Structure 1
Amino acid sequence: MSRVIAVANQKGGIGKTTTAVNIAYDLAEMGRRVLLIDTDGQCNSTDTCRARVEGVATLYDLLFEHEKAEECIQHMEKLDVIASDKLLKNPETKFPDDATRLFTMRDACEEIREQYDFIVIDTPPSLGCMLSNALTFADEVVIPVTCDRYGMEGINDLYVTINATKKYTNRNLRVTGVLLNKYKERTTLCREISNGLPEVLKMFDTTVFDTKVRECEDCKKAQSARMSVQAYNSSCSTAKDYWRVCEEIIGR
């Protein structure tokens, strides 16, 4: 049985896409069969993985044009990708206007689920039907947060969305952990936010990952080069941290 992991936080700028891409890549490097699904209309995960958008079937076609999931998969060097699409920037009106609207992704992807050990979903930086679809399909959620004054903004809203999903569409959904991103160990602010996490963890009934992801210059260079950090420089601090995060995910 595959594990479907949604990387979710509706706040932008917290490294959600970087986390999704690097978790997917590292799990594949560890010998797992991995599919990355990009549900964000900005197509950042799609671009980083160098997947195509034009002239191919994308997530838009899968969800709204009745294309088979198998036809939407692009086989990249390390992992498979279902690409996002610019047409997904405003998807709310595209979903069915009935009780099935939150199950669209789950139903569309069911036929390919057993082909993979892990399916990683990069979710959009907003609350809405696309995020709810991803959570309904997922088994678990990884919540990246940054150690800055605004890092915890919107956590209450995310809790409401996850709680509603567990109540109405996916009662087995669990939060695997909160991941501290862009961490600077020596700063007082990072320590203060780390110390304030217990209330957040209690809210989601979860724990914080032991590994805290540090951001280094090579992380930014990897993004510019459209590569995972591991592929760009496996010896940099960010690459090592994401590798350890994947080891934690496998162990949980």
Structure 2
Amino acid sequence: MAKVIAVTNQKGGVGKTTVSAHISFALQEAGHSVLHVDLDGQGHSSIYISGDKAINSRKGGAERIFDRLEGLRGDATPCGVDLLHGHLDLGKLDEGEKTSADALALRDYVKSLPYDYIVIDTPPALQLRQFAAMIWADVLLVVVEPEEKALRGFMKVKEVVELLKSKGLLAADYKWRILFNKVDGRIAEQQKVVDGFMESYKGIVIPVPLAERKALINKAYSARVPVWKFKDTPKDLGGIWRGLPSLLGVL
């Protein structure tokens, strides 16, 4: 059975796309078979993983997982991660005939797909696609920036997780984690937020926040390589990104 990791927040721009892609990169490099499912209509993690900047304009991607296709596999990519890509028409899933009950009924099917790991990048809104990823997941990773709007997005996700748990809709061994991203250690208020969360959510907050390195991350994205393979990346920073699966507790 595949282990399913969903990466989410109800605010865009927090870095969930970059984080989800790097979890897939790292798991594949560690020798595991990985399916990356990009449910975000912008398809940015699909572009990163495939190297195809036009992939988000083509149908026939992540929506296939909702059709319970027998023998479903993602498309092979140069980096070794199989991909069900995101594209601009995915929003139709939220407006169509599929319901939350349909998504719940797919959980065993998703876990039965022939991979060691399935990593899901979600859209930044609680509609069918995000809901489905949350209830399919064994591990839900909420990526957060230490700023007000991102923290409000986290609180909305937390409310949904607690509601789903109360209704018995999550797996018995379900885990969720919080990862702070784009943290500037020179800003005392940001560090105060991180420290406060670590105290309030002991065992849930990943103890190694990701530093604000926008320029470097963007360059690695443009080169279509994991950040640890980009020539300008400091070794210690690359090691943190490469170690995301271990920090998440899935390796």
TM-score normalized with structure 1 length: 0.84
- Shift of the 215–29 alpha-carbon distance from structure 1 to 2, 3 Å rule, reads farther
Amino acid at match of 1:49: I
Decide which of 218, 223, 226 is 2:224's aligned counterpart: 226
Tell me which residue corresponds to 1:158.
157
Question: Which deviates further from its counterpart, 191-200 or 48-57?
Answer: 48-57
What SS does the aligned partner of 1:160 have?
helix
What SS does the aligned partner of 1:49 have?
helix
Distance of 1:95 and 1:104 partners within structure 2: 14
8 Å Cα contact 2:58/2:87 also seen in 1:
no
1:89 to partner: Cα distance:
2.4
Unaligned 5+ segments in structure 1 are: none
Per-residue CA deviations over 1:180-225 (Å, capped at 9, x if unaligned) read 10122222122111122157527xxx42112211232221112223
Amino acid at match of 1:80: D
Tell me which residue corresponds to 2:205.
208
1:4 pairs with 2:4: yes
Distance of 2:93 and 2:145 partners within structure 1: 27
Question: Which deviates further from its counterpart, 5-14 or 159-168?
Answer: 159-168
- Shift of the 122–155 alpha-carbon distance from structure 1 to 2, 3 Å rule, reads same
Tell me which residue corresponds to 1:116.
115
- Shift of the 105–39 alpha-carbon distance from structure 1 to 2, 3 Å rule, reads farther
Distance of 2:96 and 2:109 partners within structure 1: 15
Tell me which residue corresponds to 1:92.
94
Per-residue CA deviations over 1:61-83 (Å, capped at 9, x if unaligned) read 3425x64452x511123211111
Per-residue CA deviations over 1:140-199 (Å, capped at 9, x if unaligned) read 111111123433122221112112322242242633421110122222122111122157
Per-residue CA deviations over 1:84-108 (Å, capped at 9, x if unaligned) read 23211242222435x6333265355
8 Å Cα contact 1:181/1:213 also seen in 2:
yes
Unaligned 5+ segments in structure 2 are: none
8 Å Cα contact 1:212/1:241 also seen in 2:
no
Tell me which residue corresponds to 1:140.
139
Tell me which residue corresponds to 1:73.
74
Question: Which deviates further from its counterpart, 234-243 or 18-27?
Answer: 234-243
Distance of 1:168 and 1:43 partners within structure 2: 31
TM-score normalized with structure 2 length: 0.84
1:117 to partner: Cα distance:
2.1
Question: Which deviates further from its counterpart, 53-62 or 171-180?
Answer: 53-62
Aligned Cα RMSD in Å?
A: 2.6
Tell me which residue corresponds to 2:61.
58
Amino acid at match of 2:247: E
Spell out the pairing of 1:234-249 with structure 2 (5 A cutoff): 235-236=233-234, 238-249=237-248
After the TM superposition, which segments of 4 or more aligned residues of structure 1 sit over 6 Å from their partners?
A: none
Tell me which residue corresponds to 2:183.
183
1:18 to partner: Cα distance:
0.5
Distance of 1:176 and 1:110 partners within structure 2: 17
- Shift of the 180–69 alpha-carbon distance from structure 1 to 2, 3 Å rule, reads farther
Distance of 2:105 and 2:44 partners within structure 1: 22
- Shift of the 152–140 alpha-carbon distance from structure 1 to 2, 3 Å rule, reads same
Amino acid at match of 1:210: P
8 Å Cα contact 1:138/1:173 also seen in 2:
no
